[in-house]
Structure 1
């Protein structure tokens, strides 16, 4: 029997939920903007400070520490309460911003980016954890739709805004623009998020598990810039460390993750696999498409960026559109359809590049965006509803961390595939086109694996009691 769930867009922007919606939008804005900041601002920082050989580490360290922070978010929420953790780690992010903005050498910029990543990783994860705490189930798809719009705006406005600030004022201004956003965010948290009692906690700090997660993520990041053999060894080492981190966590008295994280025997575990594999597949275009358009078709940076941003627009529009779906049976169809759209889109982008057909490439970009937009929100909602109330904080906080890990792993695997196929040495267009085939084939295969994970999650979700969220 299908179940309907009511929910209107006007509610999340109405008097009751607008303050909470604003907090979540600001939290996502900080994370999304800084994800796109480095490409526009850091080259100017290197020009002033030197250190071009370490510029990639500004993004790598941000990502690594964001994943570690996200892994620790549920623990910090229990120890400090939602308000304390959000305010405290937003201020950590602010400290990192100021360190980077006033840096006198690239080492200080790297330290600032690492501190930024730690703070924002926790804030982003806690914003996800607050969704089931402050919104009823019927409004959650609308919240995810709103977040998709924020990401689409950041995909356009992040590089453009940071570039404009860098060009008109200074690269330091691109960092300092975070300051008013953080102060508004902290003020809103004090106004809206209730003070929660801190859970008594006699356990020690889970340093070994966080260190293992961080080391595994660092190896993934190193694989993206290493030679093929070293990259393969780095990925094997990363897999061993990350599996060890999950194994250690399941046996700990005070866990960072839900007990069924990445288990194929539960809807939560299978859903997390899907949530990891989708961005792994999407990394092929995220990392290489803009560069390929400039290299193969002679596009300028702006034209290539606009073409690449078609995916973000399609993601946003499709996410908003499907947020009105009420029947659970239809939502499950959307979950299963998303990875297939992603796989089809990747194939079409490859065909478009190989045949120099812009319309084919654009259709592929639209399908990739729709693949994420149609299934992401309902995948997250299904995972949250399949989780018990006792584990919901850990499960919700793990979602953005898993997505970030998928982005990192996808970028590394894309680099390994492209390097092994000879892309860095390719000069002629025919050589470039030949070298990118393995990259897109691998990405499409990961999308198919995400489809099988989706089938497993949906099948198990039907047998799992639905733990809906009460009125916030």
Structure 2
């Protein structure tokens, strides 16, 4: 496709693509909203139902099952078709919502959250898989920019909206707000999304691989709350399980992933490594910054949360800004620049905390967000273009799953690094500032690894034929 062909924002919101754009926005917003809103609604649920000791698992189970669902998304698409998969798994999400909203105890809430996560994990992954199917490649950066804005709105609006519903009505209303959104989503899918081809021949259900992926992810979640020694062991076992899942998948007839997933010999595999490593690096500030601002600078929860959200602002605004870039050479520069900005931002946040300089910290937070914003969209586009037609569904659906896995791994590794340095026992500012040194060192190392993966992907992508997307 010519580099001079430019897509316009008006196109994805114009008559031809508006309905599809809305479907993708709804699919992503359901996932994002339900990942963020629990911080506001669940404390009230615990007050009514009890079970405060398992409150964190309402989010953990949602994310773990979302990763498993995302891994299985391409399989559902092949078996049920695009429309059938979206409708069926949106129905699964709706069932989970109703179970959680009508729960009589916290165990039922957890069951509902797990079902929600699986259903929405598939839906979100399928929405990514539909992008190259329904949009020409010149519009794909605009679609990714739109999705970045949806995530930013969810990061702000999810907790705020759930808090308002909980305070004015009840915590159950915060769950039930999903019901009309799912119904709107399902109606639009029926009207707009083609059924797509279905593969009737089956080579068996990949239960072992899905259980291995789920078990490995659960071990990562457990590592985030375990003491350092046990956490290290859990992460090692989790790594073995996830590597085994990829190994088994490559040797299976009914694959969940593209055959070159996480292979450094292909642009697809290298790009997936970059997509995994950047969230791992970013988790250092994502997990600890708000808490550190309260501990070190005496900020209140709202003020600290606003500073933390600066990253999301930088991400969404930069993503929208670079969506107009047409030259592939410039896009390759942005891909390589993303991890660099991420590393510089992490160093800046650390320096701002050490020097008690809010301005440095805010600028660094913007740099972290920009690192993700300028590179994510073109990384995804490069991975999709490097994938063959036969593997594009698997590749596209794996993108949000890989990013979620990176967030989970990053949170666990950040916890291990901080706790091993004595962060949990630190009682004064000097001890806290010393304890977070390993946290940021580990984060910068992973940002550096993401940069190496970006260099590898860009190098390999230059020699890879560009696959055609939807008809212009």
What TM-score does the superposition give when structure 2 sets the normalisation length? 0.99
Q: How does 1:234-383 map to 2 (within 5 A)?
A: 234-383=234-383
Equivalent pair of 1:5/1:327 in contact (CA under 8 Å)? no
Residues in 2 aligned to 1:393 and 1:202: alpha-carbon distance in whole angstroms: 17
In structure 2, runs of 5+ residues without a counterpart are none
For these two proteins, the number of residue pairs brought into alignment is 472
Deviations 1:391-422 (A, max 9, x none): 00000000000000000000000000111011
CA deviation after TM superposition for structure 1 residue 429, in Å: 1.1
Residues in 2 aligned to 1:179 and 1:149: alpha-carbon distance in whole angstroms: 22
Deviations 1:196-239 (A, max 9, x none): 24212221111001010000000010000000011000000000
Deviations 1:405-451 (A, max 9, x none): 00000000000011101111111111111111110111111011000
Residue 454, structure 1, aligned to residue 437, structure 2: no
Residue in structure 1 matched with residue 26 of structure 2 by the alignment? 26
CA deviation after TM superposition for structure 1 residue 298, in Å: 1.2
Residues in 2 aligned to 1:79 and 1:220: alpha-carbon distance in whole angstroms: 30
Residues in 2 aligned to 1:279 and 1:22: alpha-carbon distance in whole angstroms: 26
CA deviation after TM superposition for structure 1 residue 139, in Å: 0.3
Runs of 4+ in 1 over 6 A off after TM superposition: none
Residues in 2 aligned to 1:440 and 1:337: alpha-carbon distance in whole angstroms: 19
Residues in 2 aligned to 1:386 and 1:197: alpha-carbon distance in whole angstroms: 22
Residue 173, structure 1, aligned to residue 176, structure 2: no
Q: How does 1:65-104 map to 2 (within 5 A)?
A: 65-104=65-104
Equivalent pair of 1:423/1:432 in contact (CA under 8 Å)? yes
CA deviation after TM superposition for structure 1 residue 2, in Å: 8.6
Residues in 2 aligned to 1:466 and 1:422: alpha-carbon distance in whole angstroms: 50
Residue in structure 2 matched with residue 389 of structure 1 by the alignment? 389
Residues in 1 aligned to 2:200 and 2:5: alpha-carbon distance in whole angstroms: 37
The alignment's C-alpha RMSD in Å is: 1.1
More deviation, 428-437/136-145: 428-437
Equivalent pair of 1:4/1:328 in contact (CA under 8 Å)? no
Residue 15, structure 1, aligned to residue 15, structure 2: yes
Residue in structure 1 matched with residue 208 of structure 2 by the alignment? 208
Residues in 1 aligned to 2:179 and 2:463: alpha-carbon distance in whole angstroms: 47
Residues in 1 aligned to 2:140 and 2:169: alpha-carbon distance in whole angstroms: 40
Secondary structure of residue in 2 paired with 1:173: helix
What TM-score does the superposition give when structure 1 sets the normalisation length? 0.99
Secondary structure of residue in 2 paired with 1:252: coil
Residue in structure 2 matched with residue 113 of structure 1 by the alignment? 113
Deviations 1:105-126 (A, max 9, x none): 1100000000000000000000
Residues in 1 aligned to 2:439 and 2:343: alpha-carbon distance in whole angstroms: 13
Residue 134, structure 1, aligned to residue 134, structure 2: yes
Residue in structure 2 matched with residue 440 of structure 1 by the alignment? 440
In structure 1, runs of 5+ residues without a counterpart are none
